[in-house]
């Protein structure tokens, strides 16, 4: 769900309508786990480029489709309007028919399924079972009679399925097994993807409360939710440091420290803010934290592989 923007609305035109509909700042949850799982796999086997590309595209399509379902169902429930913040705006600002958005989401799901079939043919059909569960979570996040986004479980479920599960699938299709390292390195990505959802719920807290949602941010209040966000950032960085000290991971993973200014910017951007439009920069910084953290982690693994 999204809230009120300033009176001046910038409308998208042409391809920008469709690009904004994917909510590009959230696509980090689609590509970072795939990069990370694949980078770790390099330490065990040679890269299968076609499986990597298929997994990457499928993950991005599922994330984009999830955003479109969000766009459609929030509109149908009357939660979005022309001045809403944080949406693609294709329906309420650019006049795209709601059913077109819904159909496009299902088309993206369909293409992801075809890519999944290719992955299964070359690995195992158990991937189809796991992938189906991921897609159901993506749909029911805002779809269905009891959307996950209305509950306190949104952060955990989105983080677990888009973080842990996607990292592990990306690793498994390359290596053929799951290792302790692959599980351990997926945890901070799970936390950071959950942080993206939490930042969204902090921004939308007042409106969500009015519409009967029971998100974590609503249950614990804005100040504690910001503290929780800061704690999630902290745990993610400390987790990797501990992984290096006690798990024997490569010190190159310390490249993640370069990204520390982003979570600091995110937390500061929420403190003292109450209007949704004021919190947009903080939300972007939260998503960028996941992007930079995940990519730097992946780069560290790749460097360690080649040295």
Scan for tokens 């209305």, then name that residue.
150
What's CA 271's distance to the chain center, in Å? 23
Whole-Å CA distances, 45 to 31, 32, 56, 214: 21, 20, 18, 45
pLDDT band at 5 (very low <50, low <70, confident <90, very high): very low
Radius of gyration over every alpha carbon of the chain, rounded to an integer in angstroms: 19
- In this predicted structure, the answer to whether residue 209 has a pLDDT above a threshold of 90 is no
Whole-Å CA distances, 22 to 67, 94, 206: 6, 14, 25
3-state secondary structure 77-105: CCCCCCCECCCCCCCCCCCCCHHHHHHHH
Distance CA 218, CA 201 (A): 8
Q: H-helix or E-strand containing 17?
A: helix 15-21
Q: What's the CATH number where 131 sits?
A: 1.10.600
Query: What's the pLDDT at 79?
Result: 67
Structural domain harbouring 199 = 15-306
- Cβ atoms of residues 115 and 57 within 8 Å: yes
Number of domains in the chain: 1
Distance CA 59, CA 109 (A): 10
User: What pTM, to 2 d.p., does this model score?
Assistant: 0.90
Q: What is the pLDDT of residues 8-60, one digit of tens each?
A: 444 555 677 888 888 888 899 999 999 999 999 999 999 999 999 999 999 99
Q: Within a domain: residue 6? A: no
- Cβ atoms of residues 48 and 69 within 8 Å: no
Write down the mean pLDDT value for the chain.
90
Q: What is the pLDDT of residues 101-146, one digit of tens each?
A: 899 999 999 999 999 999 999 999 999 999 999 999 999 998 888 8
**88-100: buried (b, 16+ CB within 10 Å) or exposed (e) per residue?**
bbbbbbbebeeee
Q: Which two tokens stand for residue 180?
A: 């302790």
Phi/psi at 4 (5° precision): -75, 135
């Amino acid at each position: 769900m999204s809230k009120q923007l300033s009176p001046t609305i910038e409308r998208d035109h042409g391809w920008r309508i469709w690009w904004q509909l994917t909510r590009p700042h959230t696509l980090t949850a689609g590509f970072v786990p795939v990069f990370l799982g694949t980078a770790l796999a390099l330490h065990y086997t040679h890269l299968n480029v076609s499986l990597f590309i298929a997994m990457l595209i499928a993950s991005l399509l599922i994330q984009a489709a999830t955003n479109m379902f969000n766009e459609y169902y929030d509109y149908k429930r009357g939660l979005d309007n022309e001045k809403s913040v944080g949406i693609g705006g294709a329906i309420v600002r650019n006049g795209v028919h709601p059913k077109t958005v819904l159909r496009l989401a299902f088309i993206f799901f369909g293409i992801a399924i075809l890519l999944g079939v290719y992955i299964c043919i070359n690995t195992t059909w158990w991937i189809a079972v796991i992938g189906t569960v991921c897609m159901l979570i993506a749909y029911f996040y805002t779809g269905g009679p009891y959307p996950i986004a209305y509950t306190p479980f949104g952060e955990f479920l989105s983080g677990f399925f888009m973080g842990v599960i996607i990292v592990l699938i990306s690793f498994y299709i390359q290596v053929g097994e799951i290792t302790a390292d692959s599980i351990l390195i997926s945890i901070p990505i799970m936390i950071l993807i959950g942080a993206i959802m939490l930042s969204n719920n902090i921004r939308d807290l007042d409106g969500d409360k009015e519409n009967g949602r029971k998100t974590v941010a609503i249950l614990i209040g804005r100040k504690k939710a910001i503290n929780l966000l800061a704690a999630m950032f902290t745990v993610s960085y400390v987790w990797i440091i501990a992984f290096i000290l006690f798990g024997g991971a490569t010190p190159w993973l310390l490249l993640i420290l370069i990204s520390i200014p982003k979570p600091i910017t995110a937390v500061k951007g929420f403190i003292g803010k109450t209007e949704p439009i004021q919190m947009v920069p903080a939300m972007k910084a939260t998503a960028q934290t996941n992007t930079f953290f995940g990519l730097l982690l992946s780069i560290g693994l790749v460097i360690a592989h080649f040295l």
